[in-house]
Chains A and B, each alone.
Chain A
Amino acid sequence: MKPFFLIAVGLAVLVPTTAEAQAPEPDAAPLASWVDHRVAMTRLELGYRASFVPASGFDPFSGNDLLPEFYLAATRTLFVSDRFSFAAGLAWDNGGSSASVREIDNASLRLNRLTIPLEGRAHFGPWGYAFVRVAPGTAALQTQLSDASSPATLSKTQWLFATDLSAGYAWLVFPRFDGPRLTGRLWLQADVGYAFVAQEQLTLGPDLGSGNTQRVSGVDLGPLSMNGAFFRISAAASF
């Protein structure tokens, strides 16, 4: 239920009903209908995220504690006040890692984060904006171990509570001026932060077929917490 709920909430905030209506008027009367679309905007972000997961539970799946992820997000400005704005949206991070285990097995991990980014922005006109972001959501953790001592692949999938906290800067690449003009704009942005994912005990069980009556015990790889710092770079298009 969690991911569907998040998708619903995300889509709701992306419906183009509020930003322009709620954007406060600039001080000057001649600009009463003026809307800066470098502030009030809908954005699509596509990027790369590198998470550093120092937990020992991640060791079977990585030789360097690094989890690379693909990042996709859509946000919409919901509220504008002076140089500040607030935006929300829906984000998806997907990444995985695999490693050899004791030179005999292969262990792999895939993480899908589905979060609602809630972003506070401080705008600097043509120079873009700085932002802080909190992104509560959920993460699907899939782990797998292929071992010759098991009659079937050992695996486990679990949905877990997840939240990202980050801060970064979005630099407006083009066009940088003529804010009121409703046109597509290109951004480059980067943020650094810390991710929280609920801890999970990695008790992997065999994927036996439905007709298989074998009694097979799995393997306990210990607890895993995917908490850790991350770095994200992305390109965004706004309109």
Chain B
Amino acid sequence: MKLAKMGTAAVALACAAGGCGSRSGYWNQPVAASSYGLANGVALVDGTANRVVILSANPDQTLSEHAVTIGHNVTTVATSVDGYKLYVMSSGDWPPQSASDQLPELTVIDVSTRGSPRPTTYPMQQPLSNLVIDPLGQWAVAYAGSASTSFIENPNEIVLLNPNLPYTPPAPTSDCADGGAAPVGDGGATLPNPVTLDIQSFGGTPQQLSFTPPLFLPNGTDANGDVVGATTRLLLIESTVDLTMLDMTYAFLPQCLRHPEITVQLTDGTSTQQEVPAGVAVDDGDPSDPTDARIALWTSTDSNVFIFKLIAASPGPNLNLFTPSINSAPVGQVPSAVTFVHTSPLPANDYGLQVLALVPALSSAVFIDDSDETTRVALPAAYSQLSLVTSVVNAGSTATTGPDVALLWQQGTSATESGAGVAFWGLANTSAEGIDVVSVTQPIQSVLDVGGATSQNPQLKVLQLVDDDVYVLDLTARTASPLSTSQAPSLAISADGTRMWAFEQGGTNLAEIQLPSLSLVPGLTTSLPIGSVYDVTMASADAGTGAPSALIATHTGGGWGATVFSAADPSTASARNATSLLVEPTP
């Protein structure tokens, strides 16, 4: 045995001398993963192994796996609204200690290409921890926010990115050397992507960022001196003391051509009051009028709603051709939800556009009209959330505009609260006359939309109550159908809105609820505890209504597994289990 040990030691020494004798670090990394649903698969972000494993389902319930390398130390993961892009932001090996250390980066993985995810990597100058994805898919913006990752950093620095274009580093020399005369963009010099901008600050730090929908804004005057408009989009940056607007049309241009951001302070500058932004609402107003777009901002610390009207700017050196006019309207208490609504025509605004703010502390709603006059309406309950359902309720109507219909509900957290149900509110008049309440037994925990943009059943919403019961609300029939559950179900709804899956997180029970019939396919089980479920189109299918789909239920134990069911004909017998998904090494 002594001889054997000496032999082993000799081999080990020889190996050490030859630089051999260790294994890939991958095998020593623990599994610390998270899953994200995509339109046509599931992404397992395996951060410790610096990779994303994209799972896509095949017609025989097998899974195809594609691994994509990502940066070190993942900070944020997000998916695009359409589910075809995965954004993975990483801080790299920060602070870098050697030339081989990795710098921060954002990896965008495009899964719209069947079978072969296409990653694009965008290096960044400093690690950032917050990421906002444009719902229309044009841009993304990264910012530091309140979570600091560096010894010192500039919280007003943001990184703007066009995920549809490849990485393009900034030109070594300024494009402004000729005064900006050289063409840029289409047909001209290639614009940098991403761009890093330092947002002006009046002492605040960015808290929330959002992209507006297209707005028809002032863009100069014609020969008659009339304001002409142009469609553009803005990036809104809410800070603790101000709101900043950045015209995205010019955001990627060189400094000399870029329109500067517009910052409006929320206070008069005489106080040190800090606000906690709660949200913004945006409305373009009359699509043909370039001077009536507006933004409403509310905070969780102020009883005023701030309204910004985007009007034509006075001629001058300012490159921006619009300017915000700010007003604040008191609503009595801190509002919980704010949106723009259309009521019957108003004296000052025949378009009937008003701001509607819910003030649950006063069990009321407040309308703010075009002249910032407020009208308080007492509500039958302290509704805290609202959603406009006009397009569904008025489906089939020939009218293009008209009074909105809002769905109100009170978000509760415990069964000890009273259930106020949901209320349909016809907003023809600024009164409580048009309220129609549909009762449910308990306070509502959450309201889920049924399907995405291509939903076949947009008239349905799913209400999850605090006692774990589920109601399916039909907006057109104004009915609420209960689904009783014995355990707290988690829900997943297919993109086409024809199926809902209920499962017990950490359990093995699964059920399909067909929509809108509410027919149940019960008795589905998995052999291992379920982490999440995702209704996805199959790898070989085109997106859209009727695309063959599968349900992928993930199992987070061990090296992660998944059970794949046919979405069209689910059964436990035909389901297939895939094992050790995060054990397989990247080829």
Which residues of A are at the interface with B, using a C-beta cutoff of 8 A? Answer: 48, 50, 52, 54, 56, 58-60, 62-66, 68, 99-105, 145, 147-151, 154, 190, 206, 213-222, 230-233
Q: Which applies to chain A's interface (DSSP): helix, strand, loop or mixed?
A: strand
**Segment at the interface with A among B15-23, B192-200, B442-450:** B15-23
The answer on a CB contact under 8 Å between A101 and B583 is yes
Q: Tell me which residues across on chain B come within 8 A of A48, comparing CB atoms.
A: 3-4, 7-8
**Segment at the interface with A among B311-319, B384-392, B558-566:** B558-566
Inter-chain CA distance A154–B587, complex, in Å, is 20
Complex partner residue of A213 from B8, B29, B573, CB under 8 angstroms: B573
Inter-chain CA distance A6–B4, complex, in Å, is 28
Inter-chain CA distance A237–B31, complex, in Å, is 51
Q: Tell me which residues across on chain B come within 8 A of A216, comparing CB atoms.
A: 576-579
8 CB contacts below 8 A, A to B, read A52-B11, A64-B23, A99-B27, A149-B560, A149-B561, A151-B579, A216-B576, A217-B62
Interface-central residue, A105, A190, A217, by most chain B CB under 10 Å: A217
* Smallest Cβ-Cβ distance to B555: which chain A residue: A149
The answer on a CB contact under 8 Å between B30 and A104 is yes
Q: Which of B75-124 contact A (CB under 8 A)?
A: none
The answer on a CB contact under 8 Å between A221 and B583 is yes
The answer on a CB contact under 8 Å between B7 and A149 is no
* Smallest Cβ-Cβ distance to B10: which chain A residue: A231
Inter-chain CA distance A58–B22, complex, in Å, is 10
Q: How far is the CB of B90 from chain A (nearest CB, A)?
A: 20
The answer on a CB contact under 8 Å between A222 and B15 is no
Q: Which of B528-587 contact A (CB under 8 A)?
A: 528, 555, 557-561, 573-585, 587
- Interchain residue pairs A-B with the least CB separation, the first 4: A148-B558, A149-B561, A59-B23, A150-B579
Chain B interface size band reads: 35 or more
The answer on a CB contact under 8 Å between B558 and A150 is yes
Complex partner residue of B12 from A59, A64, A145, A190, CB under 8 angstroms: A64
Q: Tell me which residues across on chain B come within 8 A of A64, comparing CB atoms.
A: 12, 15, 21-23
Tell me whether A218 and B579 are in contact in the complex, defined as CB-CB below 8 angstroms, given that A65-B20, A149-B528 are known contacts: yes
Q: Which of B177-196 contact A (CB under 8 A)?
A: none
Q: Tell me which residues across on chain A come within 8 A of B8, comparing CB atoms.
A: 48, 50, 66, 68
Inter-chain CA distance A213–B577, complex, in Å, is 12
The answer on a CB contact under 8 Å between A105 and B580 is yes
Q: How far is the CB of B55 from chain A (nearest CB, A)?
A: 12
Q: Tell me which residues across on chain A come within 8 A of B14, comparing CB atoms.
A: 52, 231
What is the 8 Å Cβ interface bit string for chain B, positions 257-276, against chain A (1 contact, 0 not)?
Answer: 00000000000000000000
Q: Which of B428-480 contact A (CB under 8 A)?
A: none
Q: How far is the CB of B54 from chain A (nearest CB, A)?
A: 16
Q: How far is the CB of B243 from chain A (nearest CB, A)?
A: 47
Inter-chain CA distance A66–B579, complex, in Å, is 28
Complex partner residue of A219 from B24, B576, B579, CB under 8 angstroms: B579
Q: Tell me which residues across on chain A come within 8 A of B579, comparing CB atoms.
A: 147, 149-151, 154, 206, 216-219
The answer on a CB contact under 8 Å between B558 and A147 is yes
Q: Tell me which residues across on chain A come within 8 A of B560, comparing CB atoms.
A: 149
Any chain A CB within 8 A of the CB of B527? Answer: yes
Q: How far is the CB of B116 from chain A (nearest CB, A)?
A: 18
* Smallest Cβ-Cβ distance to B3: which chain A residue: A233
Any chain A CB within 8 A of the CB of B61? Answer: yes
Inter-chain CA distance A53–B362, complex, in Å, is 75
Q: Tell me which residues across on chain A come within 8 A of B4, comparing CB atoms.
A: 48, 233
Tell me whether A102 and B582 are in contact in the complex, defined as CB-CB below 8 angstroms, given that A147-B559, A149-B560 are known contacts: yes
Q: Tell me which residues across on chain A come within 8 A of B63, comparing CB atoms.
A: 217
Q: How far is the CB of B585 from chain A (nearest CB, A)?
A: 6
Q: Which applies to chain B's interface (DSSP): helix, strand, loop or mixed?
A: loop
Q: Tell me which residues across on chain B come within 8 A of A62, comparing CB atoms.
A: 23
Q: Tell me which residues across on chain A come within 8 A of B398, comparing CB atoms.
A: none
Q: Tell me which residues across on chain A come within 8 A of B15, comparing CB atoms.
A: 52, 64-66
The answer on a CB contact under 8 Å between B577 and A145 is no
Q: Tell me which residues across on chain A come within 8 A of B585, comparing CB atoms.
A: 56, 59-60, 221-222
Inter-chain CA distance A206–B21, complex, in Å, is 30
Given contact pairs A66-B11, A102-B30, A231-B7, enumerate 19 new A-B contacts (beta carbons under 8 Å). A48-B8, A50-B11, A54-B20, A56-B585, A63-B28, A65-B21, A68-B8, A101-B27, A101-B583, A104-B30, A147-B580, A149-B557, A149-B559, A150-B561, A151-B527, A151-B528, A190-B7, A222-B584, A233-B3
* Smallest Cβ-Cβ distance to A102: which chain B residue: B31
Q: Tell me which residues across on chain A come within 8 A of B561, comparing CB atoms.
A: 147, 149-150
Q: How far is the CB of A231 from chain B (nearest CB, A)?
A: 5
Q: Tell me which residues across on chain B come within 8 A of A231, comparing CB atoms.
A: 7, 10-11, 14
Q: Which of B44-78 contact A (CB under 8 A)?
A: 49, 61-63
Complex partner residue of A149 from B6, B23, B28, B580, CB under 8 angstroms: B580
Q: How far is the CB of A173 from chain B (nearest CB, A)?
A: 13
The answer on a CB contact under 8 Å between B584 and A220 is yes
The answer on a CB contact under 8 Å between B7 and A215 is no
Q: Tell me which residues across on chain A come within 8 A of B573, comparing CB atoms.
A: 213
Inter-chain CA distance A64–B585, complex, in Å, is 18
* Smallest Cβ-Cβ distance to A150: which chain B residue: B579
Complex partner residue of B559 from A59, A104, A220, CB under 8 angstroms: A104
Q: Tell me which residues across on chain B come within 8 A of A148, comparing CB atoms.
A: 528, 557-559
Inter-chain CA distance A221–B584, complex, in Å, is 5
Q: Tell me which residues across on chain A come within 8 A of B49, comparing CB atoms.
A: 102
Q: Tell me which residues across on chain B come within 8 A of A60, comparing CB atoms.
A: 23, 27, 583, 585
* Smallest Cβ-Cβ distance to B61: which chain A residue: A215
Q: Tell me which residues across on chain B come within 8 A of A222, comparing CB atoms.
A: 584-585, 587
Q: How far is the CB of B577 from chain A (nearest CB, A)?
A: 4
Tell me whether A215 and B587 are in contact in the complex, defined as CB-CB below 8 angstroms, given that A63-B23, A147-B558 are known contacts: no
The answer on a CB contact under 8 Å between B11 and A215 is no
Complex partner residue of B23 from A65, A151, A154, CB under 8 angstroms: A65
The answer on a CB contact under 8 Å between B21 and A102 is no
Q: Tell me which residues across on chain A come within 8 A of B581, comparing CB atoms.
A: 149
Q: How far is the CB of B571 from chain A (nearest CB, A)?
A: 11
Q: Tell me which residues across on chain B come within 8 A of A206, comparing CB atoms.
A: 579
Tell me whether A104 and B558 are in contact in the complex, defined as CB-CB below 8 angstroms, given that A59-B23, A220-B584, A221-B585 are known contacts: yes
Q: Tell me which residues across on chain A come within 8 A of B24, comparing CB atoms.
A: 56, 59
Q: How far is the CB of A188 from chain B (nearest CB, A)?
A: 8
* Smallest Cβ-Cβ distance to B527: which chain A residue: A151
Complex partner residue of A52 from B3, B20, B527, B559, CB under 8 angstroms: B20
The answer on a CB contact under 8 Å between A219 and B584 is yes
Inter-chain CA distance A63–B62, complex, in Å, is 32
Q: Tell me which residues across on chain A come within 8 A of B10, comparing CB atoms.
A: 231
Inter-chain CA distance A233–B8, complex, in Å, is 10
Q: How far is the CB of A93 from chain B (nearest CB, A)?
A: 14
Q: How far is the CB of A116 from chain B (nearest CB, A)?
A: 24
Inter-chain CA distance A99–B30, complex, in Å, is 14
Inter-chain CA distance A48–B578, complex, in Å, is 40
The answer on a CB contact under 8 Å between B577 and A151 is yes
Q: Tell me which residues across on chain B come within 8 A of A154, comparing CB atoms.
A: 579-580
Q: How far is the CB of A163 from chain B (nearest CB, A)?
A: 20
Inter-chain CA distance A28–B587, complex, in Å, is 67
Q: Tell me which residues across on chain A come within 8 A of B576, comparing CB atoms.
A: 215-217
Q: Tell me which residues across on chain B come within 8 A of A145, comparing CB atoms.
A: 580, 583
* Smallest Cβ-Cβ distance to A50: which chain B residue: B11
What is the 8 Å Cβ interface bit string for chain B, positions 23-45, against chain A (1 contact, 0 not)?
Answer: 11011111100000000000000
